[in-house]
Structure 1
Amino acid sequence: MSEAVEVATFLAAVTPERRHEEASVLDSLFREVTGWAPRLWSGGMLGYGTYDYTYASGRSGTFFATGFAPRKARLSVYIMPGYADFSTILADLGKHKTGKSCLYINKLEDVDTEVLKRLVRAGLEDLASRWPVTAT
């Protein structure tokens, strides 16, 4: 199965209907901001772009540069390597919670999608200043 078919199949299966619609909107948003097609990662995450990392500990790997997961309870938006430097953008975003590299949104209508676009761009720029980012 091609990656495009795999992504389309995954998006088509997202439930409930509201979350399915939000996932479609987010996919369009991420494609617009990044210019890249998504890749389905384990755990039901859609990733846009990749980067290779090596930590001081010697641990290394490849992960997606930005992306999201349409969970039943809420949407998870991933900005690598985290949200520490984005407090001014987050202040304008709307209702959300943050984890280390996760932004949690209960309903997409709770946030300003134009601000979310700015946040995704800023996250990619920050990541690219640390690790080379490759298109998917």
Structure 2
Amino acid sequence: MADIKTQPNNLSVDGFLDKVEPAWKRDDSKKIMQLLQKITGEKPVMWGETIIGFGNYHYKYKSGREIDYFLAGFSPRKANITVYMMGGFEGHDEDLAKLGKYKKSVGCLYFKKLEDIDVKVLERMTIRSIETLKKRYADYN
């Protein structure tokens, strides 16, 4: 079975962020990095070439396949900043209503600028997402 392509590596997080354009997106990304580092107590690590992840958890599929992935992470993409909510959005309806201007998919939040959302709500949602993962996966590291 093939491994997942997005793996932690030794690429420089600061080097990656220093290249993010425009400058406001670079500044927003550094603020998100500080927030996620505060929440997780973990240092940022590059996962692949464009994702910054914090911490990790061990996931075992019903098929028996196992992977390790980050607890929380983000990526300053061209169109939007993506924040990965690995615990999903169950139980987040009230916070989503208060978050601000965003879009979402199964496990991702997308927003243009940090000023478009309520950072305190993002923090609360991230904490809940991590708590969900810790409860869901007994092999949490």
- TM norm structure 2: 0.87
Partner of 1:8 in structure 2? 14
How far did 1:90 drift?
1.2
The aligned counterpart of 2:140 is 133
CA distance, structure 2, for counterparts of residue 55 and residue 47 of structure 1: 21
1:72 paired residue number: 78
Question: Are positions 1:48 and 2:73 aligned together?
Answer: no
Whether 1:96 aligns to 2:102 is yes
Cα distance change on mapping 1:6 and 1:126 into 2, 3 Å: same
Please tell me whether the aligned partners of residues 83 and 98 of structure 1 are also in contact (alpha carbons under 8 angstroms): no
Distance 1:91 1:133 in 2: 30
2:119 equivalent in structure 1: 113
**Aligned residue for 2:89?**
83
State the one-letter code of the partner of 1:133: Y
Residue 20 of structure 1 corresponds to 26
SS in 2 for 1:73: coil
CA RMSD, 1 decimal: 1.5
Q: Which has the higher contact order (CA 8 A, sep 6+)?
A: 1
Structure with more of its chain in strand, by fraction: 1
Q: What percentage of residue pairs aligned between the two structures are identical?
A: 37
Number of aligned positions between the proteins: 132
Structure 1 residue identity aligned to 2:116: D
Structure 1 unmatched runs, 5+: none
SS in 2 for 1:123: helix
| Distance (whole Å) between structure 2 residues aligned to residue 133 and residue 85 of structure 1 | 21
Q: Is residue 12–residue 46 contact of structure 2 (8 Å, CA) maintained in 1?
A: yes
Can you give the 5+ residue segments of structure 2 that lack an aligned partner in the other structure?
1-8
Kept after mapping to 2: 8 A contact 1:19/1:72: no
Counterpart amino acid of residue 140 in structure 2: V
User: What secondary structure is seen at the aligned counterpart in 2 of 1:129?
Assistant: helix
In 1, Cα distance between equivalents of 2:140 and 2:115: 30
